[in-house]
Structure 1
Amino acid sequence: MGENRLIHGRYRLLDLIGRGGMGEVWRARDESLGRQVAVKCLEPLGPYRDPSLTRVLRERFRREARVAAALSHRGVTVVHDFGESDGVLYLVMELLEGRDLSRLLEDNKGHPLPVDDVLDIAAQIAAALSYTHRQGVVHRDLKPANIVRTADGTVKICDFGIARLAHDIGFTTRLTGTGVALGTPHYMSPEQIAGGEVDQRSDLYSLGCVLYEIATGAPPFDLEDAWAILIGHRDTPPPPPRERRPELPGHLEEIILGLLAKQPGERPSGAGELVDRIRAGRATGALPGPVVPAPPDAADTPTPPPTWTQGMTTGRKALGTGLGALPPVPGALLSCEWAAVPRKDAGLRRPTAAPPDAGDHGGPVDARRPVPAPPAKRAAPPAERLVALAVRHREGVRLAGLGRWAEAGEAHRAVAAERAALLGPDHPETLASRYETAFALVRAGRVTEALTAYTDLAEARAGVLGADHPDTLAARQETAYALGRLGRHFEAHQMYAEVLAARVRAMGPDHPDTLRCRHNLACTLGRLGRLDDARRTALEVADARARVLGPDHPDTLVSRCEVAYAEGQSGRWEEALRLYHEVAGARARVLGADHPDTLAARYETALSLGRLGRSADALRLYRELIVDRTRVQGPTHPETLRARHGRGVNLGRLGRWADALAEAHDVCLLREQTLGPAHPDTLVSRREVAVALGWLGRWAEALTEYRRITATRAQTLGPDHPDTLAGQGDEAHCLERLGRATEAGELYRRVAVVRRRSGPDGA
């Protein structure tokens, strides 16, 4: 598909507006009528190669055209024409000048929209849905990206690509029988998730999710894992919107919570009723409260979502990449009626200490054993202070989602201090803020501080919630991660093993949190040099995750990558290459070609090719990867520079040392500017410069570079560090090549003495 292509001899494509699951959307000119239109095109195969799936997509496209063309309402995008030209299915629509709600939120820098705008948008969408539902059409994929607000303020619903006619059951059966998931996790109704009957009330639930997001700045279940989002929609009452944005009027909160009722019968009976409720609320400012379902009984055995959800990813929500996972039931407005477990009996937990939906992972409390008396109650803190702290907590989470870790850490640190003063230092909400603070410290590179914070937090949670409570184990697991980041792998291994045993007792061997801990343990085994144990453990976790979560779930693919890493470290690079290649393909399907995890798997594929001596193939992959990383992440992103470093290494392996030197020099300069002169990646690039200089016979220049590397490492790592000693060995080699054998011999002897003194590992 390209610019100036003529569709059906009438519609000339001018420029690409966007891409989606059904194809491409182009700005085009109707040559017959002289007007600009939008043309949606579906290529014969698009990104899919399975003929049966292609037939399904074609049928959906034709159905979209017929359904949309039959609709005529100011709140629904007008369809002018549709057909097929040269094997390309096309749909001609009115060209909308405006922004979809996703873009509106992005333009607003992630902040929610003004209340008047939310109410106006809600009223217009409800009116449009009232009309389409009367025509027997259910949209089934209502989300911010499918709702456009034009320049004159008109709100229009777009893309009936997975709509179904309510009376046409056979069509639904044909299209859902392929196993292709219909809907977007952040906005799916519980009945969609359960695979049950879907009618107009499902659209109302999705509208509730949309209104929740534009009113608060985040979806009702703001989680990164698609599975957790689906479970949240199905089982967990959403936090009231005014917990996240206190200034929202009560009647708007009631409208939104009414739409988000779990049972369809507890929502408004139709969009027409919703229109009336919005009008009444705007006129009087008060509405009768909705019926909000009670939380599920903790004694009930939860049923998993249907199998077709297992490969789902979160997709793109209105704020782009996520804001970070929160507990299923954030307790931002706790009343302080909680009981801490005395430290001398930390294993005894009161059932109320666990989240309402978590169950009692520590087992039943023996009624014959005395329950410790609760501590003296504090005076109930002012509700407005709690609300303000909850809002600031959300702001910290938002900053973390944007990668602004230093700011996020300071925000959470301040909230933790105020919650400690208001609620007490061991209150669960205070501890939650301390957890977020430590998490941000790790991501900001302040790992030593994070380790102290996690250690203190784990001890506090054990005293309050019990040693085997999931929150306590989460803090201990993050403590182990921090230890690993600091190179203290043996201590990390011990802690991971203890946490794993506790998780197996409390949650079972196949719980996702248990499997995540086993995965971390596998990584640590590899860092300890126990490669066979690491490979075996990672393979067991990958198999278990495939069984529990699905073979293409992101967590399963992460474990398969760890298997590949262990294979490579053991010298089995052919097997590592095969696994990395398969993971890269699966991630492209599930996460998208430009997702960071997909790009990472492609990098490892290229690295494996280089290790196998297939430098020409590796060079080709690195070149393609550099183009994609530059486009997605920018030319100076550390991962872009890492790919460029790989290209330089393989240029050298092919004997192209002048090109290798130029690439290494450029990468070194960029790393020095962006990461700093003492950063390990900068020093690796400087060494690559020195290696290339040596191969070109420029040994005096190489010696200067090696000495700079050694001096920097001695200052940052210490004079006896193995990397510092390796640099001195490189210096000695240069001295030899320059004919300065006496100096080289003396340097070799000094390095040998230090290594003998340090032990067989040189540490």
Structure 2
Amino acid sequence: MTETRRIQSRYRLIELIGRGGMGEVWRALDESLGRQVAVKCLKPVGPQHDQAFTRVLRERFRREARVAASLQHRGVTVVHDFGEYEDVPYLVMELLDGQNLSQLLEENEQHPLPVEHVVDIAEQVADALGYTHRRGIVHRDLKPANIMRLTDGTVKICDFGIARLGHDIGMSSRLTTTGLAMGTPHYMSPEQISGQEVDHRSDLYSLGCVLYEIATGSPPFDQEDAWAVLVGHRDTPPEPLRTHRAELPGFFDRVVLDLLAKVPEERPADAGDLRRRIVLGRTGEQPALGPSLLARPESGQTAAAHGTAMPAWTRAMTAGHRATGSAPPPAERPDPAAGLTGQWTTAASTAPHTGTFVSVSAGPPAPDLLATLEERHSAGIDLGRLGRWTEAAQVHREVAAERLRLLGPDHPDTLASRYEIGFTLSRTGRADEALREFTRVAAGREGALGADHPQTLAARQATAHALGRLGRHAEAHEVYEAVLAVRERVMGPDHPDTLRCRHNLAFNLSRLGRPEESCRIAREVADARARLLGPDHPDTLVTRYEVAYTLGRLGRWAEALEIYQDVARARATTLGADHPDTFAARYEAGISLGRLGRDAEALEVYRSLVADRTRAVGEADPETLRARHGLGVNLGRLGRWEEALAEARAVCALRESTLGPDHPDTVISRREVAAGLGWLGRWSEALGAYRQVAAARTRTLGPDHPQTLAARDDEAHCLERLGQA
């Protein structure tokens, strides 16, 4: 659609102003009426994709159009038109000049908004919700990103994609049984979490979460782990807002706490009642206390006591993004730190699968001590992200030891620390130790959380990765298949963790010598990620990179080259020209050019890559030296052996000084030196270099290793050329 830049010969697309997993929003010109509008387009989904999923997406899109078009209120985004063009649904809306509440918080550097703005937003949203609820419409996904504040101060509710019309329960059921998101955990009501039927009071609870966040800077249950967030909504009374921000009006504190009552009957009766209380509070009058303050349950009388137990599907949820910007873990990190301290340290007995544990210290650990440990845990993760793995490992070992003493060996926080220890071991080349650590974590999590819990599956998946690093690909394959079966059953085929597991399975199949299967699965994962995340999302590009790798293994270098070049361009745009992943794709493009015999082009790729990597990370960085090695190889292929020999010697010297004389990369460079000497007819010097290679490989790999035998064969060839058969 966007290639034509015009829809139905009327709406000319001007600028992309928003993008999500399922659609895009464009600023456009309505050429018939001469006004600017916003056009929301559902991303194209082809016949190769899951048709049930496609139908649900289209139904949701049509629902949003139908619901929004039926609403005429200053607090709801106006819909002008809806239709399909070239089989792609589109929605034409008023163009809003402003920011959503999530953006306002980010712009305010995660500090809460001014009090007068918070109260004004609360009144305007209450007014808009009162209107939608009177028309029988429940939003069900109210969150900061779906509430816009315009430059003139007007507040509007957006995105009715999963709203429920009171007379259309059947369609609602179909829309929420496919594994698609039914809300965002930080803003979901207890009844929504439990899978019960929801009504307008669920929106009031979500609004309470939003108001709490914009008033204090954090949502009421501020955890990055989805399960901890859901437990908080179900069981934990929220702290009064004024404990975080004393200048908030007392009436506003009471109103928000009423909205956050665990059961619907204890919240304000409706949005109209809520708005009246806000208006009275702003004028200085004392509103009547709401039912949740008159009969608020004690901390032990939770929603669970009212029958609001969480169903099994909630364990598969991820925390999503709260407005203040909790960053998701990197794509290659399947298991973020759990951080369940507040929920798991007050139990009196151990009961596997129920989420209760005994603290092994003399009494419940002090909250400030647990908070300090959580901060140190996060600091260790940050050190790892900076590549400082040795320091990260030390931090995680210290935190793990303290958590073991305070919380016990099977507490989720202790296991989270041990998981990070395993991760640092893996990143520092100690795969055998990492495997032992991940195996212990997987067993502990299975006993504590259950075999199907996402954290248990993450630990099992990490054991498979470690097995692969040890060359035990057949065992890794069995684990990946078992984990994938559970993920597909519990989370669904398109859950990000399911797709990550399938990506790893494809990677491992390639290393098992099954490139055809690997390529097929990697293509399927790449298509799914492109559909759900977008074609330029880093996860999508990682899988496309793997597709290219398997195509190379199959000898289909022209196809591999095209994908590597596309990935390199996309990564330069999304990650930056100097990002390591961008450099990696450029390097593989050079390899592919060489395999296709396009040595002059490959030489230019390597030459520019060497210059860019030297500038970005230095001349002695291993990846800079890898690019210089490729440069030397291509000089040789072009018959420029004097230059090739000089490059190989320089790289070999740098590798020896930084990596050591027996490092595989150093040995490869020394062999390249020997090859250059041989091509220049300097066979006696080549013989000495080949003997050094053979000796190093004998020491590190053993006398019977294929690479050692290949080095001895090179040595014999030199002797033949010297007449010493």
Q: TM-score range by the shorter chain?
A: 0.7 to 0.9
1:70-219 matched pairs, under 5 angstroms = 70-80=70-80, 91-173=91-173, 175-176=175-176, 180-219=180-219
2: distance between equivalents of 1:265 and 1:300?
11
Pick which of 176-185 and 292-301 moved more: 292-301
2:412 pairs with 445, 460, 470, which one?
A: 470
Aligned pair count?
Answer: 693
| 2:264 corresponds to 1:322 | no
CA-to-aligned-CA distance 1:560-594 (integer Å, 9 cap, x gap): 33333332223222222222222223333444433
Q: Secondary structure at the match of 1:149?
A: strand
1:266-665 matched pairs, under 5 angstroms = 266-284=266-284, 290=293, 291=296, 294=299, 305=311, 317-319=322-324, 322=327, 331=342, 351=347, 359-361=355-357, 427-665=369-607
Change (3 A) 1:292 1:130: farther
> Is contact 2:140-2:162 (8 Å) kept?
yes
User: Structure 2: 5+ residue runs without aligned partners?
Assistant: 330-335, 709-725
1: distance between equivalents of 2:592 and 2:652?
25
Change (3 A) 1:239 1:353: farther
1:227 deviates by 6.4
| 2:696 corresponds to 1:700 | no
CA-to-aligned-CA distance 1:76-96 (integer Å, 9 cap, x gap): 233455567787766554332
Q: Secondary structure at the match of 1:436?
A: helix
Q: Secondary structure at the match of 2:500?
A: helix
Q: Which amino acid aligns with 2:140?
A: R
The root-mean-square deviation of aligned C-alpha atoms, in Å, is 4.0
Pick which of 683-692 and 297-306 moved more: 297-306
Q: Which amino acid aligns with 1:456?
A: E
2: distance between equivalents of 1:504 and 1:55?
36
Change (3 A) 1:701 1:37: same
1: distance between equivalents of 2:567 and 2:397?
40
Per the alignment, residue 717 of structure 1 pairs with 659
Pick which of 529-538 and 589-598 moved more: 589-598
Q: Which amino acid aligns with 1:623?
A: Q
CA-to-aligned-CA distance 1:725-758 (integer Å, 9 cap, x gap): 2221221111111121111112222333344445
User: Structure 1: 5+ residue runs without aligned partners?
Assistant: 339-349, 366-370, 379-385, 387-422
CA-to-aligned-CA distance 1:392-425 (integer Å, 9 cap, x gap): xxxxxxxxxxxxxxxxxxxxxxxxxxxxxxx6xx
2: distance between equivalents of 1:670 and 1:608?
27
1: distance between equivalents of 2:88 and 2:435?
56
1: distance between equivalents of 2:139 and 2:684?
82
1:536 deviates by 2.0
Pick which of 70-79 and 171-180 moved more: 171-180
Change (3 A) 1:619 1:134: same
Change (3 A) 1:239 1:496: farther
> Is contact 2:141-2:182 (8 Å) kept?
yes
Change (3 A) 1:539 1:267: same
1:438 deviates by 1.8
Change (3 A) 1:707 1:218: farther
- Greater RCO, CA 8 A, separation 6+: 2
2: distance between equivalents of 1:256 and 1:47?
47
Q: Secondary structure at the match of 1:72?
A: coil
Pick which of 649-658 and 5-14 moved more: 5-14
Q: Secondary structure at the match of 1:602?
A: helix
Per the alignment, residue 396 of structure 1 pairs with none
1: distance between equivalents of 2:646 and 2:582?
27
CA-to-aligned-CA distance 1:336-366 (integer Å, 9 cap, x gap): xx8xxxxxxxxxxx8459999973356xx9x
Q: Secondary structure at the match of 2:149?
A: strand
CA-to-aligned-CA distance 1:621-666 (integer Å, 9 cap, x gap): 1122223222221222211111111111101100000101111111
2: distance between equivalents of 1:440 and 1:458?
16
Pick which of 663-672 and 467-476 moved more: 467-476
1:614 deviates by 0.7
1: distance between equivalents of 2:26 and 2:211?
29
2: distance between equivalents of 1:49 and 1:754?
51
2: distance between equivalents of 1:105 and 1:321?
12
Change (3 A) 1:20 1:472: closer
Identity of aligned residues (%): 55
1:478 deviates by 1.7
Q: Secondary structure at the match of 2:99?
A: strand
> Is contact 1:146-1:158 (8 Å) kept?
yes
Q: Secondary structure at the match of 1:198?
A: coil
1:326 deviates by 6.9
Q: Which amino acid aligns with 1:135?
A: R
Change (3 A) 1:256 1:705: farther
